[in-house]
Amino acid sequence: MRTTLLLLGIALAVSGSAFAGQPAIEGNYIESRSCDVYTAACNANSEIGLVGEEATMAWQVTRGSHQGVDVTGLSVVAVIRTDSTLTDTSLNAYKGRGLVIVDEKANAAQRDALVSFAKAQSGTLLSDVIKVQSAPIAMNTGGTDAHGAASLKAGELVNIQTRSLHESDKHCGNDRAYYPPLTRVDGATPAYTQRDMFSGEGLGMTWDEADRRSAYVARFEK
């Protein structure tokens, strides 16, 4: 009897350790901004105060839950606008407002969980959620071999297309990932934005831009 209880205790401890080491939620991430993030100091300084106040952040959950709600296979997008050029959120707590787009496949509980997750990941960038909308979301980051090639479409509201950076995309010899991603992610790869479109309401503006070194493709886990 004692041997059986001992073995059961060991098994529970091992399984508990394995469970504890697994992230509660994980998946893919795309970010696109209205200024170059892969750039050099001279170019970055020329954009400060002129562009870069807007960004789109998208999370595709491949496994996991938030606040006890399973959101595996669902996506959420936050389109944000602030009052100054977004540079490094670890140095500046930008207060922003934004539109949250939730995967139309989500039920009511999942919808609330996804909005809460987007707010938690965005921090003060989503201080003011102006509107929450549902839409079909298609997101593809291409896996680890894509090197920045990705796509995101949220209904008719958001359309982002990126490709990997080429040597010819460098403007000078000091180009690098100058600004970090706006949220905590893993293995962030800077990418070239071929299209960044937003046509929703609530932010006081829409945009349809192209040809910027303004995106990141990454993984996240929490």
- Lowest-pLDDT choice from 93-107, 119-133, 135-149: 135-149
Is residue 2 a part of any domain in this protein? Answer: no
State both tokens at 36: 């170059």
Rg of the chain on CA atoms, in Å: 19
Residue 7 scores a pLDDT above 50: no
Q: Which helix (H) or strand (E) holds 215?
A: strand 212-221
Please give the pLDDT value at position 14: 41
**What is the biggest distance separating any 2 CA atoms in the chain, rounded to whole angstroms?**
75
Is residue 11 a part of any domain in this protein? Answer: no
- Do the beta carbons of residue 75 and residue 100 sit within 8 Å? no
State both tokens at 167: 């040597």
Query: At CA 34, angle to CA 44 and CA 37, rounded to 5?
Result: 45
Q: Write out the residue range of the structural domain in which residue 77 sits.
A: 25-221
Please give the Cα distance from 35 to 1 (Å, whole number): 67
Is residue 14 a part of any domain in this protein? Answer: no
**Residue 128's pLDDT band (boundaries 50, 70, 90)?**
very high
Please give the Cα distance from 38 to 6 (Å, whole number): 56
Please give the pLDDT value at position 172: 80
- Closest to 31 measured CA to CA, from 137, 198, 188, 177: 188
Is residue 10 a part of any domain in this protein? Answer: no
For residues 86-90, give the mean pLDDT.
Answer: 84
- How many structural domains are present in the chain? 1
Question: Could you read off the pLDDT of 165-190 as tens digits, one per residue?
Answer: 998 888 887 889 999 999 999 999 99
Please give the pLDDT value at position 141: 94
**Residue 143's pLDDT band (boundaries 50, 70, 90)?**
low
Is residue 74 a part of any domain in this protein? Answer: yes
- Closest to 103 measured CA to CA, from 146, 58, 55: 58
**What is the model's pTM?**
0.88
**Residue 107's pLDDT band (boundaries 50, 70, 90)?**
very high
Sequence-separated (6 or more) residues with CB below 8 Å from residue 144: 187
Taking the CA atoms of 35, 41, 43 and 47 in sequence, report the sign of the dihedral they define: positive
Average pLDDT, the chain: 89
Q: Which helix (H) or strand (E) holds 123?
A: none
Is residue 101 a part of any domain in this protein? Answer: yes
- Closest to 175 measured CA to CA, from 188, 192, 194: 192
Please give the Cα distance from 142 to 196 (Å, whole number): 18
Question: Could you read off the pLDDT of 200-217 as tens digits, one per residue?
Answer: 999 999 999 999 999 999
Please give the pLDDT value at position 175: 87
Residue matched to tokens 């939730």: 102
- Lowest-pLDDT choice from 40-44, 71-75, 91-95, 141-145: 141-145
Please give the pLDDT value at position 68: 97
Is residue 19 a part of any domain in this protein? Answer: no
Is residue 12 a part of any domain in this protein? Answer: no
